[in-house]
Amino acid sequence: MNYKVIDGLQYTKKHEWVRREENSAVVGLCDYAQDKLGEIVFVELPDVGTELEAGKSAAVIESVKAVADLYSPLSGTVIEINEELLDQPELINAEPYGEGWVYKMEIKDENELAALMGKEEYEKFIVEEEEK
Amino acid sequence: MGGKHYLPLTEEDRNEMLSVIGAGSVDDLFADIPADLRFKGNLELEPAMSELEVLKHLQQMADKNRHFQNCISFMGAGIYDHYIPSLVSHVTGRSEFYTAYTPYQPEVSQGTLQTIFEYQTMICQLTGMDVANASMYDGGTALTEGAIMGCGATRRSRVLVSRSVSPFYRAVMRNYFNSRGLIMDEIPLRDGCTDREALLNMIDENVAAVALQQPNFFGMVENMNGLANIIHERKALFLVSVDPISLGLLQTPAEYGADIVAGEGQCLGIPASFGGPALGILAAREKYVRQMPGRIAGETVDSEGNRGFALTLQTREQHIRREKAASNICSNEALLALAASVYLSAMGPQGVREVAEQCLQKTSYAREKITAINGFELVFPGIYFKEFAVKLPVSPEDANLHLLKKNILGGVDISQFYPELDQTMLFAVTEKRTREEIDILVGELEELK
């Protein structure tokens, strides 16, 4: 497998990741997605305080060849955004699970988090995606 | 020849094609259409004319048209009779540009891309905005796309549009908004301008953008002072539709704090035709460039470091973003944008200013003369540019029929768009009108009493 998937995160079928931090969750784009998009040139972030709904567009990621929505994995309010991305959107390419995080949100419904995929399940999922 | 020299196919061509597909005759070819639905017999057509006769016939029909070349025009309301320097058609008529399809591929289209880039640059200079796109279809689509940009940038879905904005543009916007689930609310009028108090009452945290027109549909110059603050306090965007010629005299939209600027570019060297094709101007502050629809030509360097041009920021267009594209417009009015560039280059800043000054002076003269006629009332007092509304003692339709007999195209009847404005005509006076022509109009209007 060529794509990095790390332990301790939850994953969505749209290739977003969530990392739990006490009562909040950090959201980002998976290595798989950043690789498919290519060089990322612009990120449109939600405003702090925006009410997000799981599965609905929360941010827009623009690369040299495509524009993709980042769908919020969870419902809840945005409490922090990664402003570094406004000047350095390529951080998502370089460190999708680290410096390239996108936003932090509150966790409204624990069930939504529990329903996401773990590392192994997601790894299996991207193998299937690749075979399609 | 029996007129067949107008048809590209010979009898031999037809027979050859029929034999290739295995049909015995043209009747055989249509065998699938039930016989009783097929036309039998001969078409009742007059005998074919020679080329000389056809041209004469068409010319006779064309001569019945009444247009800016054979009438004195006071029509406006969005499309105007401004002077077009002969340089414009000389350049746009060149075969490199005069094509049905605009080639955008940088490998083969450096000239076209450079003209688009220069058009964008001049629109930015004229409006004071940071970026302009390669153009939209017309003033209405440009304003509507500007409003949609506002919704995208603010993630809100309600736009306030002044009733002093062209009714044609509002109709386009309503049409787009209906299918996108966006809301358009109209700000009422006060003395022919936007009612500020009403605007203050209507604006709230759900409003994405506020759209005004400068000068407005009635030709009035709106007071833009302080509007930007009111709008920006609610984190909404200030959208304005401008007459580019007026920018020779009026403040630029950037100076009064607009975020997005739209406009109709027909007045920049483009003939009226039958009301189109026109040129949609769209420009914005750099912050909103990624919300901008359509194409943008950018300046770059090639692998050898030479200056070159290429389309840029295309990732939000339909061929890449599909249903999530910023707009379904992913083309532009390249030939007309070129006409506007040539016009602006030919006139220069001083020339545009002079055109604007002459419009204002001549409008001022016509306004004074017409409203001095007994029974002709000025509808809105206040500051104007090249148009003004007058209440007539007779119906605008009758007035126009009378004027047309004298080879005058009268003003536009605007009571059809504003029921409260009874028997009201909007007169437009461009730099092309002479004092004599205005006096002729006034003389004919006096006859109407």
B206: contact with A, CB 8 A cutoff: no
pTM of the model: 0.86
B289: contact with A, CB 8 A cutoff: no
The Cα B248–Cα B343 span in angstroms is: 14
Per-residue pLDDT of chain A (132 residues; tens, 9 = 90+): 589 999 999 999 999 999 999 889 999 999 999 999 999 999 999 999 999 999 999 999 999 888 889 999 999 999 999 999 999 999 999 999 999 999 999 999 999 999 999 999 999 999 998 888
| pLDDT tens readout for residues B399-413 | 999 999 999 999 999
How confident is the model at residue B1, as a pLDDT? 39
| Test the B interface: residue of A48, A67, A69, A70 with most B CBs within 10 Å | A67
Nearest Cβ partner of B290 from A42, A50, A63? A42
B315: contact with A, CB 8 A cutoff: yes
CB contact under 8 A, A66 and B321: yes
Name every residue whose Cβ is closer than 8 Å to that of residue B14 and which is 6 or more positions away in sequence: B26
Which domains are present in chain A?
A: 10-119 (2.40.50.100)
Q: Which residue of B has its CA nearest to A42?
A: B290
The Cα B127–Cα B424 span in angstroms is: 32
* Residues of B whose CB is below 8 A from A66: 315, 320-321
Q: Which residue of A has its CA nearest to B152?
A: A44
DSSP-derived letter for residue A75 is -
| Test the A interface: residue of B321, B323, B327, B330 with most A CBs within 10 Å | B321
* 3-class secondary structure per residue, chain B: CCCHHHCCCCHHHHHHHHHHHCCCCHHHHCCCCCHHHCCCCCCCCCCCCCHHHHHHHHHHHHCCCCCCCCCEECCCCCCCCCCCCHHHHHHHCCCCCCCCCCCCCCCCCHHHHHHHHHHHHHHHHHHCCCEECCCECCHHHHHHHHHHHHHHHHCCCEEEEECCCCHHHHHHHHHHHHHHCCEEEEECEECCEECHHHHHHHCCCCEEEEEEEECCCCCECCCCCCHHHHHHHCCCEEEEEECHHHHHCCCCCCCCCCCEEEEECCCCCCCCECCECCCEEEEECHHHHHHCCCCEEEEEECCCCCEEEEEECCCCCHHHHHHHCCCCCCCCCHHHHHHHHHHHHHHHHHHHHHHHHHHHHHHHHHHHHHHCCCCCEECCCCCECCEEEEECCCCHHHHHHHHHHCCEECCEECCCCCCCCCCEEEEECCCCCCHHHHHHHHHHHHCCC
| Test the A interface: residue of B151, B315, B320, B323 with most A CBs within 10 Å | B315
Residue ranges in chain B modelled with pLDDT below 70: 1-5
DSSP-derived letter for residue A117 is B
How confident is the model at residue B313, as a pLDDT? 85
* Residues of A whose CB is below 8 A from B316: 62, 67
Query: What is the Rg, in whole angstroms, of the alpha carbon atoms belonging to chain B?
Result: 26
Name every residue whose Cβ is closer than 8 Å to that of residue A71 and which is 6 or more positions away in sequence: A12, A14, A16, A55, A56, A57, A58
How confident is the model at residue B102, as a pLDDT? 84
| pLDDT tens readout for residues B249-266 | 999 999 999 999 999 999
CB contact under 8 A, B315 and A62: yes
B322: contact with A, CB 8 A cutoff: no
Distance from CA of A90 to the nearest CA of B (A): 17
Which domains are present in chain B?
A: 4-62 (no CATH), 72-83+349-446 (3.90.1150.10), 86-342 (3.40.640.10)
- Whether omega before B215 lies within 30 degrees of 0, making that bond cis, reads yes
